[in-house]
Structure 1
Amino acid sequence: MNLELRHLKVVCAIAETGSVTKAASQLGLAQPALTAQLQRIERTLGGPLFDRDRRGARPTALGELVLSRARVLLPAMKGLQDEAARLAAGGDEMMMSRYRIGAVGGPVVAHLVHRLAEAQPDAQITTHASYYVEELAGMVLAGKLDYAQVGVCGDALPSAEFGLVWQTIAVNAVCVLMPEDHPQAKNREVDLAELGDEHWVAGAGDTCFADCFAAACARAGFAPLKMLETDARACVDMVELGLAIGLCQATFRPPAGLTSRPLRGAPLRWRLILGWHPDSPAARSAPKLMALADEAYQDVIARNEAYQEWMRSGPDVSGITGVELAQEAA
């Protein structure tokens, strides 16, 4: 038997669902038929692809190898089919009819979707939210998402194991979220060294931000008393209740009663980036998405006049804005 793309889809479905029975349901096949097909695939490849027991199906070493190749080949083949169909129909090869965008959060993705919908009213746009950059990168690699709009600390990069291209939308100084009557709120910027007695709260995620914050506090001469991690809504609640002050992006719009101030000298920076797989159809539309993402960022940051004024007279936090980070790291 010759191995075909449909066989790779079977292997991926079993790995994703963790069960032959669930994969059969997902693929619209009878469980015995899928089991027989899996056995033929394993005979062709020379060994078992999954360890199967009551707990489900887990990839063997051979299975992991096959999955790593399948997760590159399947999106690439789908991209070829999509591009061929568009060219055959005389369509614009730089435009996609469907956009699946994953995001860690923040207002930029909302404005990006808004601008994309205006530019392509007939396009199908879906979004997926996650706190974790690596989860979204894995979904792009697996062909489940076209783009991932995420944030990373300073000059850090998502793991190179996903093989994605990451391009910078913008770099901002991290700000402090506090009540409007906080003693430091009267200042245009906040000296981190003056906040050594505070408790802190920040959003959840899998970046190095917590370590970078601890290092910045150490350089300022103190160790933070407490760092709480939770979702954005709970962060705001904790600041409003006086339990802690928060760390937030410059794009965050504080609710009534709260305000944000950048940290003096920008000891912490947050980089907004857009990622895609270089062999996917999304790569051809990436320049357009990057242009829309830049416009979306400008829409959002325009609401924070105080931050823009601070930036005009403050430190340069832009770093390496506008370059393809994957190439830089190579």
Structure 2
Amino acid sequence: MDLELRHLRIVRAVADAGSVSKAASLLGLAQPALTAQLKRIERVLGGALFERDRHGARPTRLGELVLARARVLLPAAQELQNEAVRFAHSPTPGFRIGATNGPILGGLVHRLAAERPVTTYTSWSSHELTAMAELGRLDYVLTDACGDSGLPTGTLLWETISLDPVFALVGETHPGAKEKELELADLADEQWAVTPADGCFTDCFAMACARAGFTPGTIYETDVATCGHLAQVGRAVVLCQATHQPAPGLVMVPFAGAPLRWRHLLGRHPSTPDGPWVVSQAKRAHAESVRRSPVYRDWLVRNPGFGTTTP
């Protein structure tokens, strides 16, 4: 006999009722039948699950172990059943999207939600999102990668949505704020701030600085709001995506020669039926974010080959 969820329900019922007789009454079974079933369960699990006397039934150490697992597995199985029923009776399945920090998610959700319901999950970790999609918990993953890295490996299908330069974000009183472009070497004495990310960006930044002839100073890894504050008070230069919309008091300035490049990627589970259409919507969402950035639009005129990828 293999252990089944109904066996775990019996163990839980005996523990909750405190006796086999009370559990039998709650389950609508005869006591001898429940006692025989409990003995078969104990044989499968290798030992007694309860100590039974005239005072009732108390879990043994093995019983406590089984109960602890049962109290996790039974609600999870019920949740799975409920979710499957809801999904089966839903007239149109929705889109489940996971995303890291980037300019595409808002526009993509707006576009997709006009067709079907959308649920989102955000994380700093592209590894976490990729694992969730591979397990079937997400349909699509919007993430980023250093411009010189390859596509992620694994079971997902990946598309490059855009190739963008990384710009500098500085306070409006910074000496470089009025420049059309900055050489990376011009900022050799600065401290830096960046939002968290998986992958090789830190190494790519260090290599770009080495090619420019210096070693970067302190690098603050923090959230978007804190990065902006550090730039406003002159504590750090922020490395930002070219589609970033600067807050008041901040200025975005390109680096000459685009020494740092950033790609937006869309991964999808192979079973998703609308993949090509969703990819096209993601590219349109990125193109919209480019149009909202006058600094990036002006830079693209002088630097073809970047921006939203073409089919």
Could you say whether these structures have the same fold, taking a TM-score greater than 0.5 normalized by the shorter chain as the test? yes
Number of the residue aligned with 1:153: 146
- Closer, same or farther: CA 316–322 of 1 in aligned 2, 3 Å: closer
Given the alignment, which residue of 21, 30, 35 partners 2:9?
30
Q: Counterparts of 1:32 and 1:136 in 2: how far apart (Å)?
A: 36
Q: Does 1:308 align with 2:293?
A: no
Q: Counterparts of 1:202 and 1:190 in 2: how far apart (Å)?
A: 18
Q: Does 1:262 align with 2:254?
A: yes
In the TM superposition, what is the alpha-carbon distance from 1:140 to its structure 2 partner? 0.1
Residue pairs, 1:277-296, within 5 angstroms = 277-278=269-270, 280=271, 282=272, 284-296=273-285
**Given that residues 134 and 159 in structure 1 are in contact (C-alpha distance below 8 angstroms), is that contact kept between their aligned partners in structure 2?**
no
Q: Counterparts of 1:53 and 1:40 in 2: how far apart (Å)?
A: 14
Residue pairs, 1:1-330, within 5 angstroms = 30=9, 32=11, 97-118=93-114, 120=115, 123-157=116-150, 159-160=152-153, 162-278=154-270, 280=271, 282=272, 284-314=273-303, 316-317=305-306, 321=309
Task: Show CA shifts across 1:217-253 (max 9, x none).
Answer: 0000000011110111111111112210100001110
Task: Show CA shifts across 1:119-153 (max 9, x none).
Answer: x1xx2211000001110000000111110001100
In the TM superposition, what is the alpha-carbon distance from 1:155 to its structure 2 partner? 3.3
In the TM superposition, what is the alpha-carbon distance from 1:164 to its structure 2 partner? 1.1
Task: Show CA shifts across 1:14-58 (max 9, x none).
Answer: xxxxxxxxxx8xx9x73848xx99x989xxxxxxxxxx989x98x
SS in 1 for 2:162: strand
SS in 2 for 1:263: coil
**Uncovered stretches (5+) of structure 1, i.e. residues with no partner:** 11-23, 42-51, 58-77, 324-330
Q: Counterparts of 2:168 and 2:128 in 1: how far apart (Å)?
A: 27
**Given that residues 162 and 306 in structure 2 are in contact (C-alpha distance below 8 angstroms), is that contact kept between their aligned partners in structure 1?**
no
SS in 1 for 2:176: helix
Runs of 4+ deviating beyond 6 Å: none
Letter in 2 for 1:155: D
- Closer, same or farther: CA 270–309 of 1 in aligned 2, 3 Å: same
**Uncovered stretches (5+) of structure 2, i.e. residues with no partner:** 13-39, 46-63, 70-83
Letter in 2 for 1:271: R
**Given that residues 174 and 234 in structure 2 are in contact (C-alpha distance below 8 angstroms), is that contact kept between their aligned partners in structure 1?**
no
User: How many residues get paired?
Assistant: 249
Task: Show CA shifts across 1:78-118 (max 9, x none).
Answer: 9xxx8xx89xx9x9xxxx62111000022310111011122
TM-score (norm 2): 0.71
TM-score (norm 1): 0.67
**Given that residues 172 and 232 in structure 2 are in contact (C-alpha distance below 8 angstroms), is that contact kept between their aligned partners in structure 1?**
no
In the TM superposition, what is the alpha-carbon distance from 1:291 to its structure 2 partner? 1.1
In the TM superposition, what is the alpha-carbon distance from 1:157 to its structure 2 partner? 3.6
**Given that residues 176 and 246 in structure 1 are in contact (C-alpha distance below 8 angstroms), is that contact kept between their aligned partners in structure 2?**
yes
Structure with higher Rg: it is 2
Task: Show CA shifts across 1:197-232 (max 9, x none).
Answer: 000000012121111000000000000011110111
Number of the residue aligned with 1:73: none
Q: Which deviates the most, 236-245 or 217-226?
A: 236-245
- Closer, same or farther: CA 40–222 of 1 in aligned 2, 3 Å: farther
